Chain A
Amino acid sequence: MPAVGLPHFLTIGAILFSLGLFAIITRRNAVMLLMGIELILNAANVNLVAFSRYSTAGTSLMMTGQIASLFVIVLAACEAAVALAIVLNIYKRFSTINVDEVDMLRD
């Protein structure tokens, strides 16, 4: 394998993405599901920053990937806060956060 290049970073993003996908499908604790979502967001961020470093589109676009990843980090924080508030409410209502057992809307 030659020196570390762009595909190496993208492969790490791919591995994190598929692990997060597996966690979302398999895990039944709602907080574990949110951790899978955070893994997927981190994978996308790694891709963004890697492309920002390895892109050849001119020096004016050097920082766009990093700025996009900063926004993704910020929005991931917001989404984690709101999702955990919802999880707390579900726990208060159903006394469980097993996502398989919270199925009142299912017919």
Chain B
Amino acid sequence: MYDFLFYTFALITVLPAFVVVFARNIAHSAFSLMFTLFGVAGLYVMLGADFVGVSQLLIYVGGILVLFLFGMMLTANIDQLREEQPPMARQLGAVFVGAAMLAMLTMAVWGIPAWRNATPRMLPNDAQTTSTIGTLFMGDFALLFIASSIAILVALVGAAMIARADGFSSEDASTRM
């Protein structure tokens, strides 16, 4: 049952990823990216990381993907909705690089006995991932937590300022300090 679910989520993840990369219509790419992110969330849940899976759905599908759709909507040229193929040399180079990377990673992953024979840690039936993550965020990882909140603040203010409707120039950034 676990294997069947794993292969289902693996197919949900990998097949739309091929569509994301190879589709000519960029709207098709964006919507199949949604399926890929759903599949990855399912894989997280299969690995016992339910909080990470749900936050992946909230942030990636509900935030980043919507941001991409808005970006595509606001930067659409009518003649750019169908992207033409890049030159053949670049495509062949990209296929070679991608295939080489995949081959190296797969050989590394299947070639290490400690990884191949790794057994999953047995989780108790009432494993409380959310409360454990909360305790760790407030305890061991408090500095990283607060630093990431500062990073979010900087990104928020920076993105809002860069994408202002009345334009953005470097004089604006320095005079409004």
Complex interface residues of chain A between 65 and 107 (CB less than 8 A to chain B):
66-67, 69-71, 73-82, 84-89, 91-92, 95-98
How many chain B residues touch A (CB < 8 A): the figure is: 83
Q: Are A77 and B47 in contact (CB under 8 A)?
A: no
Given A28-B83, A92-B167, A96-B80, are A87 and B64 also a contact pair (CB < 8 Å)? Answer: no
Question: Whole-angstrom distance between the alpha carbons of A16 and B21 in the complex?
Answer: 10
Interface contacts beyond A31-B75, A39-B36, A63-B132: sample of 6 additional A-B pairs, CB < 8 Å, sorted by A = A4-B3, A5-B117, A5-B118, A38-B60, A49-B49, A66-B133
Q: Are A54 and B158 in contact (CB under 8 A)?
A: no
The contact sample of 15 A-B pairs, CB cut-off 8 A, is A5-B119, A11-B106, A14-B102, A15-B14, A16-B14, A26-B94, A53-B49, A62-B132, A63-B133, A66-B52, A67-B137, A73-B56, A81-B155, A88-B163, A95-B77
Q: Which residues of A contact B109 (CB under 8 A)?
A: 7, 10-11, 14
- Majority secondary structure, B binding face: helix
Q: Which residues of A contact B7 (CB under 8 A)?
A: 4
| Residue positions of B touching A, CB distance < 8 A | 2-3, 6-7, 10, 13-14, 17-18, 20-21, 26, 29-30, 33, 36-37, 40, 43-44, 47-49, 51-52, 55-56, 59-60, 63-64, 67-68, 70-72, 74-75, 77, 80, 83, 86, 90-91, 93-95, 97-99, 101-102, 105-106, 109-110, 115-121, 129, 132-133, 136-137, 141, 144, 148, 151-152, 154-156, 158-160, 162-163, 167-168
How many chain A residues touch B (CB < 8 A): the figure is: 74
Chain B residue nearest to A30 in the complex (CB): B75
Q: Are B67 and A6 in contact (CB under 8 A)?
A: no
Chain B residue nearest to A5 in the complex (CB): B118
How many whole Å from A44's CB to the nearest CB in chain B?
A: 11
Q: Which residues of A contact B52 (CB under 8 A)?
A: 45, 49, 66, 69-70, 73
Closest 5 CB pairs of A and B: A78-B155, A14-B105, A85-B163, A25-B94, A85-B162
Q: Are B30 and A35 in contact (CB under 8 A)?
A: yes
Question: Whole-angstrom distance between the alpha carbons of A78 and B133 in the complex?
Answer: 21
